[in-house]
Amino acid sequence: MEQAFSLFGGNFLAILVYCPALAIFRGNESTGAIVVGARYGESMNEHKAAAPLSGGNLETILKVGQFALTAETSPPDSADPEAVLARTGCLKGLADAVNVLDGPGAQTHLSPLASAAIMARAGIEPVLQFTMRDRNRLALEADILGAGVLGIPNILCLTGDSPEAGDQPEAKPVFDLNSAQFMGIVNDMRTQAVFPGGRTIETPPRLLIGAADAPRKLDADFSPCGLLAKINAGADFFQTQYCFDMDILRDYMLRLADFGILERTHFIIGIGPIASARSARWMNKNLFGVHIPEPIVTRLEQAKDSNAEGRKICVELIQELTGMDGVSGAHLMAPHGEQAAAAVIRECGVLENRVA
């Protein structure tokens, strides 16, 4: 049932339907910072010197060490291609790449592959999300070739919400593969030009492969095996869950550095403009892995215009991220938040500070 409260300028149902947090963290998998990773045993310097994997803008930005800015969009409930551009056109020339959600909230929308193709043709670089919920390996592999044909340079591999979370709960889930298994298949398709069955691919896809992670407070016995397994399977970038607590993030990055993770990856941290103190408290209570510090909640509560204050806070967080060791960018998330993301990118000063 749709609730009447606002979140990111929408409603609480919207966060369930459009926010990638739930889709990303189903099945104990973590996501929204982007990371370009070195192969097993390869240093970051060796990776930077290697031939481009995708030929895309996102890969270039990360390889040269510039601070990346990405955003997201949910495909519309429409068969009109202009509906895709009406949502994403504001991000053209601002975001380095825009994630295209795959059935967020386990609900049907326009095909993300079609949406990503429309965006790519219009000059908006997509990160095409793949969930394991709806397709078996044969269909997933076919769509990987489709992405390559259509000029889509980036993908993000996720588990996906259970159909029970959506508006057609009787739908049967597939989950033929987990995301790491799928990454391994895609990596073989692009680097070895073979399908899992051994058949040769005449022209392999050129893709940057994405995985998921969540900055969090780590226990003393934390092991990075999950991250390393994804990198070794072929993941080139990770996208993290929302992270508004810079102290937790700083400690998290230091721990990853101790394990040598940061020598192989570039993280782009998930954040977003929060519309109100009520929204922030709801996120703390309902979104897995999210902690919005109380000083941020208080600022939103005391602001005359909480939407404007939320954007200001987001800008300040991006500016803090630009100076944090191990962080290579920010990923802006919000349901139907393309316009807000564009405003934050314009205001944060990152594009102006880039070296030509």
State the pTM of this model. 0.88
Query: For the chain, how many helices (H) and strands (E)?
Result: 15, 8
Q: Please state the φ and ψ torsions of residue 155, each to the nearest 5 degrees.
A: -130, 160
Paired tokens of 176: 């033929």
Whether 84 and 109 have beta carbons less than 8 Å apart is answered as: no
List the alpha helices (DSSP H) in the chain: 12-18, 20-25, 44-49, 57-63, 81-88, 112-121, 137-149, 179-191, 225-233, 246-258, 277-286, 294-302, 306-321, 338-348, 350-353
Q: CA-CA distance, 84 to 67, in Å (whole number)?
A: 27
Tokens 């391994």 belong to 184
Tokens 């994405």 belong to 210
Q: Is 146 exposed, middle or buried (0-12, 13-18, 19+ CB in 10 A)?
A: middle
Q: What is the CA radius of gyration of the chain?
A: 19
What is the pLDDT at residue 29?
47
What is the pLDDT at residue 21?
41
12-353 architecture in CATH?
Alpha-Beta Barrel (3.20)
What is the pLDDT at residue 7?
45
Largest CA distance in the chain: 62
What is the pLDDT at residue 84?
98
Whether 263 and 42 have beta carbons less than 8 Å apart is answered as: no
What is the pLDDT at residue 222?
95
Q: CA-CA distance, 268 to 34, in Å (whole number)?
A: 4
Residue 28: CB atoms within 10 A of its CB come to: 8
Whether 143 and 115 have beta carbons less than 8 Å apart is answered as: no
User: How many angstroms from the chain centroid is the CA of residue 204?
Assistant: 24
Residues 6+ apart with CB under 8 A from 135: 143, 174, 176
The DSSP secondary-structure symbol of 75 reads P
What is the pLDDT at residue 288?
85
What is the pLDDT at residue 22?
40
What is the pLDDT at residue 346?
97
Residue 2: CB atoms within 10 A of its CB come to: 9
Residue 213: CB atoms within 10 A of its CB come to: 28
Q: CA-CA distance, 244 to 160, in Å (whole number)?
A: 23
Domain boundaries of the chain, sorted by first residue: 12-353
Whether 294 and 282 have beta carbons less than 8 Å apart is answered as: no
Q: CA-CA distance, 144 to 165, in Å (whole number)?
A: 26
Residues 6+ apart with CB under 8 A from 301: 277
From first to last of the 356 residues of the chain, give the pLDDT tens digit. 333 334 444 443 444 334 444 444 333 344 444 445 555 556 566 655 577 899 999 999 999 999 999 999 999 999 999 999 999 999 999 999 999 999 998 999 999 999 999 999 999 999 999 999 999 999 999 999 999 999 999 999 999 889 998 899 999 999 999 999 999 999 999 999 999 999 999 999 999 999 889 999 999 999 999 999 998 999 888 999 999 999 999 999 999 999 999 888 788 999 999 999 999 999 999 988 899 999 999 999 999 999 999 999 999 999 999 999 999 999 999 889 999 999 999 999 999 998 65
Q: CA-CA distance, 234 to 181, in Å (whole number)?
A: 10
Tokens 């807000």 belong to 340
Picking from 181, 195, 279, 299, the residue whose alpha carbon sits closest to that of residue 230 is 181
